[in-house]
Every structure is written in structure tokens, then in C-alpha cells.
Structure 1
């Protein structure tokens, strides 16, 4: 008989997050049942299962197969689970092919944002005896600290942009539009929506390049400050803010010079490598409080 107390379900999206959570769960001695999303999860997940077959089981399912997810977890004795890894917003609302259970759930939603959808999925899982836990439960050491994180501290202008950016970002996050804004000289250059953080940063860089090429940016500084926040009522069971080395690489491409992330509520992946890359590029990383004044 499966020991449900020592079994954790993992609903795995894309990126490195699922693998980090998998490692952390295994370090706690847990058997992990992975529900790998065909449209998102890295194929490497199969390799991890082959290396540790007694403690890692992988089941592949499509994004819309809610009934199969529930049946798989129940068959494997899963009574608690976590979500880890991104599922692209546009994937959720365009490429999804819902089964009957998910179709019924979608029809019941007042608004089709990710918070509403994932919250509804969490309630359905709970009704079936599967409790969805915070995705940060096993990764607390990876949460961003407060204050300067890199060798270079933000300049006075960057601090002012962070304060303004936190105000704007918390406003859009409250509507579940996104969690990131890009600021230059107290002007909002780009706001995140379905395209995701990296695309937002790159779009801001393109806007600034165009303005300078056209000679229309005499009042704006060339440098960009990226501000990321948690939602005002962030549900840490899903959609936790995440940054890492790719974020810094994207910022370099866009010409951004400062990254502000919410302390204690943002996961920092590969932190040492991320800091080293930021230091080499002269990029400041700062853990803000989430308040509109710093």
C-alpha cells in the first residue's frame, strides 16, 4: 500500500522550477508522483525518473486533462500536491483542449484570468481529496532577501524608479494582468500581460531604442529598471514570481540596469550565477518590501 504521508504530487510546468522542487522533495525523503504537462514539461523529467525509479514516477498528460490528473493522483495515493513551473498564459487560454471536467469548470468562471482558473482547479482537487500546497514550501532558502543583492546598489534615480514601479506593478497585479513593469526616469515603458516577463523586458528595450533612434527620448534616461512584485493577495500555491540567470541575460539584451524583486515572495533560481552575471554586467539587483515607498 502506498504511504500517502510520504508521497507528494508534482504538477510540472516548464523551466527549471519543477526540477528544483523535485530535488528538494527528495531531500525530504518524499516519493514524488509527477504529472508532467506534455505541452510544457522538459523531456529531462523522464531521465530523472529513470535515475530514481523507486521514488519518482512520471505520468504525462495534456494541459486540459483534469480528470486524468485526478485519477492519476488518486491511483498513486497522492493526497497533497504542488504546482511548479510556468504554464504560459496564452497556452492556457488558446491551446488548451479541455476534457469534460475542465470544460465545465471553465464555463463556471466569471473571468478567465489565471488566478481564477488555477484557484478553481485547486478547489476541484481539494474536493477530490488532493490538497494543493504552496510551491515555496520546500524552497524557502531561494526566496529573495531584502535590500541590495549585488555588489552595485541602485542609484538614486533607480531607487525612485523602483518606488514608482512598485506602485504601478501592484496596480496591474491586482487585476491579474502581470507582475512586472519596466520604468525609465519615472516613466512606465512597458507593462507585462500574457507575453511574460522576458518578452516585456525585451519590448521595453525595443521601445527605448526606437525612441532614441527617432530622437524623441530627450527627457528619458536610456537605462531601464525592471520591477517585479507579488500580487496583493498572492496565492503561493501557483504563479509565484521567479527570476534567475535568464532574467539577467534578457536585461543585458534590453539595456536594463536594475532589477527590483519583492523580498520574501520571489524565488531566485541559480542565485550565485545570477548575481555573478549581474555584477559582470553592472546590473543592480534589489529586494524591495512591496511597499510604494522605499
Structure 2
């Protein structure tokens, strides 16, 4: 069936289709939709989703099985599709590689060669060309988005504020290189920049680097995790997110706190995350991003 004919069947009354990867965001989004009375269907990618979501899923599919993905969406006729949760980059590359059987192969290779952000945008392009409306988790559950007013019981020191400023400058400058969404900075010293391994493993690297000879850290050594959307990032498919696990890993790495981009970052289990940061002695703040304008994410 062509995209035009699919659109003509009236998807406005259909469910929301969640194409789910790993992490807690997919299941939290499903719970939110169910609590608010919104019909949804979950298409779980095998090898990525949590056990809870795997049990809840309406269908399971291999990430590379483009035919089955499109068949399920055609059956469900969703009013919107959300790509939620993490998948390893080779998976999305292979997904678009499979799609190259249906479209210009060189164009797909060019998209893949430009980095993760372009690969994700290629996935959006694939869905939109089939007539599906792609939305972000922040559009479906705006309550998860961090307001600029969010703050915990602890406040950053002047040194921490300096580290936040350096981190934001760094992430803003690195946006063009499609490297990552996070960095760890102590004063003006950059300790780590997020790569394909993700935020938790980056924190693990810093934690390992700071261990003493016997594997124990004598005291909190300071530093800040700064996590924010990249300049020009499409928030529908790759919105930064933190949760309780991020706070625990930041504490294990000896950091003083966490700063996230206001209005463009999701905080999972927000009350629990703030309470955990308070208990572990970490500050948790939202900061405005100078590069986020009205057109970002659209």
C-alpha cells in the first residue's frame, strides 16, 4: 500500500505506536499513556527492551526486520509513531541498510556516514515517507521534561558553576561533530566526553580512573556531569534523559552534581531522582541552553 493510500485511511483515531529500545524511558512512556487513557501499541526490539516491557509488548521484532516492522505499523494504523529507547548504532545503520533495498543505496550510505544523529534522522525519514507521523517522548509525556525551575536540596558551588559553564561551551562546540550529549568537567578540566558507550559507561570510566590503588575512593573529588541536547538535535528521536541510575553512577564517580538542559531533557522518576540526589549529597539543576531556539527539534 502506498503512503498516500495509508494516510487516506484516517490514522487520527489510531493508537500511538512505540518502537521500543533499551532503558527505562519506553516503559515509563507506556505507563504514562495508559494512565492518561491513551491507546498505545508496543513494538519491542529483541535484545534491547527490558524484561518488563518485553512482557508488555504487543509484538517483538528484530531491529533489522524492516518488512515485519512496516507490516505491524500497517496493521495498527497508528496516529503517531515514537522511537523511544536506546539501540546500538550498528543496529540503526543496518536498519537503514535494509531500507536501501527500497530506495537509492548511495543516499542511504551518505546518511549513515554522517553519524548517529543523521542515522536517526534517516529512520524518521523512512517512517515519514511511509506516511507516519513521528513524535517525541516529550510530546507524548510533557511532564517528564525538565523545567528550568527544577532543583534539589543541594546547590552548586562557584567551582561547580564554572564547570557547568565550561561543559556547556564544550558541548555546544562539539555539536557539529555528532559526538555525544554529555561531558564531565571539574572546574575547567574536562575529565570525559560521552562517546558511543553512553552516559553510564562514561561515568564508569571516570569512576575507574579515580579509584585508589586498593579500589577505594577516599572522598568526593568533585566535578559535574553536564548532559544536554546537541545544537540542532531532533528531539523526537534522541532526547537526553537521566534517572536514578545516572545519579547513583555520578555519586560513584565522586562528582558533586549534575546539570541538565532545561526544556530539552527528560528526567525519569523525577521525584525519586531528586530524592536520591539529595540523599547522596549531589546537586541536580536544570540550566538553559544558549543554542536552543524555537526551531530546534522541529
**Superposed displacement of residue 35, structure 1:** 1.4
Report the aligned-residue RMSD. 2.4
Alpha-carbon separation, structure 2, partners of 1:153 and 1:169 = 22
- Structure 1: state its 5+ residue gaps: 50-57, 214-220
Partner of 1:245: 244
**Superposed displacement of residue 99, structure 1:** 6.7
Query: 1:93-172 maps to which residues of 2 (within 5 A)?
Result: 96=94, 100-102=98-100, 104=105, 106-109=108-111, 111-147=113-149, 149-172=151-174
Change (3 A) 1:263 1:3: closer
**Superposed displacement of residue 287, structure 1:** 0.5
1:132 is paired with a residue whose SS is coil
Counterpart check, 1:43 vs 2:70: no
Query: Which TM-score applies when normalising by structure 1?
Result: 0.84
Tell me the number of residue pairs that the alignment of Structure 1 and Structure 2 aligns. 273
Native 8 Å contact 1:260 1:287 kept in 2: yes
**Superposed displacement of residue 234, structure 1:** 1.9
- Structure 2: state its 5+ residue gaps: 1-8, 214-219, 292-298
Show CA shifts across 1:158-190 (max 9, x none).
001001111102222332110100011211010
Partner of 1:81: 81
More strand by share: 1
Alpha-carbon separation, structure 1, partners of 2:197 and 2:90 = 7
Change (3 A) 1:13 1:83: same
Moved over 6 A (4+): none
Counterpart check, 1:278 vs 2:294: no
Alpha-carbon separation, structure 1, partners of 2:263 and 2:163 = 21
Alpha-carbon separation, structure 1, partners of 2:185 and 2:54 = 41
Change (3 A) 1:168 1:278: same
Query: Which TM-score applies when normalising by structure 2?
Result: 0.83
Partner of 2:67: 67
